[in-house]
Amino acid sequence: MCGIVGYIGTQQAAPLLTLGLSKLEYRGYDSAGIAVADAAGEASMRRAVGKLRNLQHSLDSAPLAGRAGIGHTRWATHGAPSEINSHPHRDATGTVFVVHNGIIENYAEIRVELEAQGVEFRSQTDTEVLPNLIKRAYDECQNLPRAIRSALQGVRGAYALAVMHSAVPDTVVAVRQTSPLVIGLGEGENFCASDALAILSETRRIIFLDNGEMAFLRAEGVEVFDLESGARRQKEVQQLDWSADSANKGDFPHFMLKEVHEQPAVMERLLHHYADEEKGCIAFPHIGLSREELRGVRRIFIQACGTSWHAGLVGKLLIERLGLISVDVDTSSEFRYRNVAPHTGGAILDSDTLVIAISQSGETADTLAGVQEAKERGLKVISVVNMPASSIVRASDGVIYTHAGPEVSVASTKAYIGQIGALYLLSLYLGEIHGLIDRARMKRRLEKFAEVPRLMREILADDSGIQRAAQRFWLAEHAFFIGRGYGQPSALEGALKLKEISYIHAEGYAAGELKHGPIALIDEKMPVVAIATQGVTYEKILSNMQEVRARGGKLIAVAGEDDEEVGKYADFVLRVPELTESFTPFVVALPMQLLAYHIAVLRDYDVDMPRNLAKSVTVE
């Protein structure tokens, strides 16, 4: 959602802040602003509604000077998008500046209290209470660390803050309470940001703040303290191996298209990190559970949100088939309310039950809450995450990284492939541990896994058929996606991609559910995308396609390259390589993603930053 960038060092802050904010545009926002301060404590602020370029035009015409600063892209919660509601916010005297991600739950009562003391508010936001609280506390103690700790004692909510005080111009303060915040370490300069991607071009030496931590950034160094006690914290410095080029589109018109084309490389990285094809073995170095503990697992709960939930549905089919372990899949917002195990005060209750949490960012609020709930109930948790050292990773017993690299487009593509790839390897690993997959079978599976990137590249090399289908249906108002078996999660994910970026109302269904209600909506204006790859349900999906055709629906089929039968029923056939059924989600994802992409482009929408959506959803 909202984005934060902070800087202090020897360079002019404004250009670095706007550069960092440009890397956070993917998060979704409606306004942007920065505040900078010089060595004498003279501070200036500039804000603008709309795209970041509006702020940049303002700064080009009247630059702001200063070597310390904070910046923000705002996604409106309290108060409509406007210059006065944009961040940064300052206290009534203009000495304390704050940018804020998250929500202050008790801001209304704090505002009443401050107004009774004579404070005049300019905005309708919850954030504006914070600089006024900090100013009041600083006037009392003349100590910035103590003032911030004191000011935040009565604040309830989830938030990340970057703070400047004109009386302490050599310091930028970063505070984390649930909402993510990272620190970047440079030479004679330091950074803070809500996402490492914002500062990747300047440094890859990162400190991940934990909840309840406060960092003091100065040009010469960074100190981290416990927000409640004030005690000094020692923090590990992580060296990210992501390339700064990951945040650039290269020769592609959109990040989404670039990231679709990066998916074969994601598969190759997964194989490189976790598998040895020649030996026929898999190893997860950070999984956190011993082979004996995993051998005792008899039930798995997968919890995730959005696209990650769809990956979990694929994971369920894989684990149940290859590992013969019963799997439940929940959306995270519902999982935390299930009584999967009584509260045990931290004692291990069900050693045979495992929770798998899936998240691209590792900061998804609902998924993190589900992890914490599972841990409180004494359950073991493994996370499948893209972002190293993120909150979900730190809260879990172990992690399988997806190695997808930075994903900028709001609509997830390569992260999804990384997730189902990681789950595929995990299902093989569990099958081997449980004595169901021998060395020879493992080698065959890994060899087939290694072939998938080449087959994916063949699809990507020519998407002209997908473009023709997009040309035919880009004016549609509604669409259905149907599938069976492994095709059902693919149908759900295809529908989500279409609705996310083209704003066409789309629904995904298990194909057998058509006749239980949805078929009433099918007519000649309703395009239906059918996942019709070969497998145990192939004949069933052909019957479902005939049901659609009999009612005038227009059919787009995703089918094997040698399948002639499916062409009898479909208006368009999007061809994919013929694969063992459990591998089909990897190749089926590509035409689903590209169909949504080309339709969104034809409708002239912002593919990478769809309206009302954010990349990292850090509020519940």
Q: What are phi and psi of 72, to 5 degrees?
A: -160, 140
DSSP secondary structure, 29-62, as one string = -SEEEEEEE-TT--EEEEEEESSHHHHHHHHHHS
Task: Evaluate whether 217 touches 70 at the Cβ level (below 8 Å).
Answer: no
Cα–Cα distances in Å, from 348 out to 17, 109, 253, 376, 393?
Answer: 47, 41, 51, 10, 20
DSSP secondary structure, 382-400, as one string = EEEESSTT-HHHHHSSEEE
Query: Dihedral of CA 397/403/408/411: which sign?
Result: negative
Task: Evaluate whether 123 touches 84 at the Cβ level (below 8 Å).
Answer: yes
β-sheet bridge partners, residue 237: none
Cα–Cα distances in Å, from 331 out to 368, 370, 372, 488?
Answer: 12, 9, 15, 16
- Answer yes or no: 615 catalytic: yes
Helix (H, G, I), strand (E, B) or coil at 373: helix
Task: Evaluate whether 360 touches 413 at the Cβ level (below 8 Å).
Answer: no
Residue appearing with tokens 């040009």: 219
- Answer yes or no: 23 catalytic: no
How many residues in the chain? 620
CA distance 532 to 541: 6
Cα–Cα distances in Å, from 457 out to 12, 394, 465, 576?
Answer: 44, 35, 15, 11
CA distance 319 to 426: 8
* Axis-axis angle for helices 263-274, 584-602 (nearest 10): 150
Name, in order, each residue with C-beta under 8 angstroms of 506's C-beta and a sequence gap of 6 or more.
478, 479, 480, 481, 494, 495, 496, 498, 499
Tokens of 87: 């961040």
Burial status of residue 121 (CB atoms within 10 A of its CB: 0-12, 13-18, 19 or more): middle
- The catalytic position among 380, 497, 554, 615 is 615
Residue whose C-alpha is closest to residue 13's, from 38, 49, 47, 32? 38
H or E element in which residue 380 lies: strand 380-385
Q: What are phi and psi of 424, to 5 degrees?
A: -60, -50
Tokens of 511: 């194909």
Residue whose C-alpha is closest to residue 591's, from 603, 566, 568, 573? 573
Residue whose C-alpha is closest to residue 71's, from 102, 41, 97, 107? 97
Task: Evaluate whether 141 touches 150 at the Cβ level (below 8 Å).
Answer: yes
CA distance 446 to 427: 12
CA distance 256 to 591: 13
Cα–Cα distances in Å, from 21 out to 4, 13, 385, 460?
Answer: 7, 12, 24, 31
User: Prior bond to 88 cis, omega within 30?
Assistant: yes
Tokens of 18: 């706007």
Please count the helices (runs of H) and the strands (runs of E) in the chain: 18, 27
Q: Which residues belong to the active site?
A: 2, 615
